Amino acid sequence: MGDVLAGIHATWEFEPDAVLIRFERGIRAPKLYQALRERRVPHEALASVTLSPGRRGTVVLHATPRAGADPLMEAAAGQLKDACDPYRLVLPAESETLAEYYADELRARLVPGAAEPAERFLVAAPEAPLQFKAYDGKATFDGGQVAFRWFWTGASSAKWKAGDQTFPVRELSGVEWRSPDLFDGYLRLVRRGHAGDVQPAQADQDPAAVVFGLGYGPVHESLPFAAAVLAAVRDAGALAPVPVSAAVTAGRDPAVIAERIRHLGELYQAGLVTDEEFAAKKAQLLAEL
């Protein structure tokens, strides 16, 4: 196609075999867009394309990637908010006719079996080195290994006892990422040969995980990090990632629950959870004592 469609915070350039998405880096653009900068999405990586009405006089061109095609979306596991979805292009309503044309063009280029999972990643992962600060430590990834360095102000005694951790990619089988926009967000590494082992129920007790918190592990830092590690794990021939919902549950330590309630109070004081959410979650935590 070779044309360009400019939307709000992003521009899509239509190449013969791919869509090149360039993200705006302005102050109003989502921080995840700013971190990604640009992404090249081959047509074979797409499962479907839709055009729908948006908010406040806009339309939304949305390309859905195939399962297993994009490490970023695999790591996100459906937890991204619409405003941060890199596959959504928001356009003024007057561009609807033009957007429909490109939607039809993209649909015509979907490969047979587009609804089936991809056998490999088709969209490039963010490049290492990457790092971010979690609530209990600093996470770094140099392309070959992940390192966690604990903070004395946030790390649990279990992590201090275990010491700083280094995990070569070849020893990993996946990554679990729970959004920092949710309560109890974390990034956990799944080690090869440990998938069936009982892991600590709480990420703050697991030396193979870092926990997020108020201002720590934001999406635009921790998600690209998780995607880069996941892609490296796949390239190393490791196993498929374990979904977030597969985390092993176990009884909770009263001290752990007390710390969770304290953190919940911080979120409440900052206005990040409502009265109802605070009361419900606190009751849930107390019920586990």
The pLDDT value recorded for residue 244 is 41
The pLDDT value recorded for residue 288 is 64
Report the distance separating Cα 126 and Cα 76, nearest Å. 14
The pLDDT value recorded for residue 254 is 66
Tell the residue number behind the tokens 């003024």, with chain if given. 92
Report the distance separating Cα 185 and Cα 188, nearest Å. 10
User: For the chain, what is the mean pLDDT?
Assistant: 87
Q: Can you say how many angstroms the Cα of residue 143 is from the centroid of all Cα atoms in its chain?
A: 18
How many domains are contained in the chain?
3
- Residue 189's domain spans which residues? 130-246
Question: How confident is the model over 222-276, as pLDDT tens digits?
Answer: 999 999 999 999 998 744 444 443 333 334 556 656 666 766 676 667 665 677 7
Question: Is 282 within the bounds of a domain?
Answer: yes
Report the distance separating Cα 200 and Cα 159, nearest Å. 11
> Low-confidence residues of the chain, pLDDT below 50?
238-251
The pLDDT value recorded for residue 276 is 74
The pLDDT value recorded for residue 161 is 93
Question: Is 85 within the bounds of a domain?
Answer: yes
CATH number of the domain encompassing residue 146:
2.30.29
Cβ(176)–Cβ(79) below 8 Å: no
Question: Is 176 within the bounds of a domain?
Answer: yes
Largest CA distance in the chain: 61
The pLDDT value recorded for residue 280 is 73
